[in-house]
Amino acid sequence: MPANPIPMRTTLKDILCGAAATGPSGTVVAGEGRLLPLDAVEPNPRQHRTYLDPEKLEELVDSIRTNGQVQAITVRRHPSDPARYQLIAGERRWRALQLLRERASAPDDRARWGSVLAVEKVGVTDRQMRIYALVENADRADSSPVDQGASLAQLQEQENLTITQLADGMGWEENRVKRLLRAARTAQVIRDGMTKGLMVPLVADDGQPLTTPSGRAKQEHRHLDLMAALEFDSLLSHWTRRSTPAKAEERVHKAILRALQEGWSFRRIQEFCREAKTDRRGLTQDHANNAGAGDESSPAPATPTPFRNDEHQLVVYRSRLGGASLEQKHELRVLLAGLLENL
C-alpha cells in the first residue's frame, strides 16, 4: 500500500498540480523557459510511451525547421547529477531537435539545433513524473492505447488502486480504463496494429492495385483503433481455441490487414468477427488449422465500404455511395452530422 494513496474524486493531474503549487518546491524556473544544451537532457525514465510514429516525428521536424521550437519542453533536475536534466514532457520536440542536429551539414546549423528551450520544475517526485507523463500524453494522437494501458496497469499496481479509483483519479469513464487495460494485454499482432500500424496496398474501386507513375504499388500507413482492436482480440481468442496460437495469430493478422486496406467501419469489423465466430460454413478442426483469413473459411467479402473513418480523418468515396447499404448510409449521416456540429 503506498504511503499516500490517491484519494477518491481527486484526479492524478490534481496531485501533480497541487504539489507544484506549494511553495518553492513547485515554482517554475526562468519564467517562459531557457535554453539548455540538448545533450544535458535525457528521456523521462518513467515515460509510458514505447513507440513514436516516424511520420508524425518527421512532421514535427519540418515544423521546427521552419518555425523554430514554439513550445518549451518541461524538465526536472537529474536526481543524481545536478548538471543534467530529465524530461517531464516534450520528448517528441527533444527528439526532433536531435534529428535536426544530426542532419545539419553547416556548423552554424548544428549549433542552432544544439539547444532546447525548456522550463524547469523543481521538487517533482518520481511518482509525479510517471503521472505527468501519462496525463500529458493520454490524448495525443501518437500515444497508442497500448502504451496508455501499460502505464495505467503499472500505476494501478504501484498505487494499489481499484478500477474505480484509477478511473476517478484520471477523470475518465471506467469503461475507457477497462478497455485500455485490456489493450495492453492483447497479443503482439494486435498491439502492433495499434502502435506501429501496417503498410497497406491501396486499391481502386474496381479492386485493382493503385500504382505510382513509376509503376510501384501505392501504399499507406494505417493504424487499428482501440475498439476495432478489441473486436479482433475476441476473434483471436475464439480462433486460438479452434487451432494453434500461431495459426490463429496469422489469420488475425490477415484479417486486420484486409480491414485496414478496405477501410472497414467498426460495424463492418463487428460483422466480420461475429460471422467468423459462428463458423457457419462448418469449419472443422483440421480445416481451421490450415485456413487463413481471407480464404474460403472466412466470411465473404463485403461491398467496398463507401467511407473510411478513424481517429484522424473521415474519407468518403463518392463513387461508392450508390452501392452503400441502408445501414452504411445511416452510419455516414451520423458521422457527418457530428462533424457539422463542430463547424
Cβ neighbours of 161 (radius 10 Å): 19
DSSP 151-192: HHHHHHHHHT--HHHHHHHHT--HHHHHHHHHHTTS-HHHHH
End-to-end CA distance of the chain: 48
Q: Which of 59, 91, 249, 275 is catalytic?
A: 91
Separation CA 326–CA 100 (nearest Å): 51
Cβ neighbours of 233 (radius 10 Å): 20
Q: Which amino acid, one-letter code, is at 99?
A: L
Say whether 58 is catalytic: no
How far is the CA of 145 from the CAs of 73, 85, 262, 295, in angstroms? Answer: 23, 28, 22, 30
Cβ neighbours of 133 (radius 10 Å): 24
Grid coordinates 548544428 are at which residue?
110
Question: Do 293 and 304 form a contact (C-beta atoms < 8 A)?
Answer: no
- Residue 222: which H helix or E strand, with range? strand 219-222
- What is the number of H-type helices and E-type strands within the chain? 14, 9
Largest CA-CA distance found in the chain, in angstroms, rounded: 71
Pairing state between β 85-89 and 41-42: parallel
Catalytic residues: 91
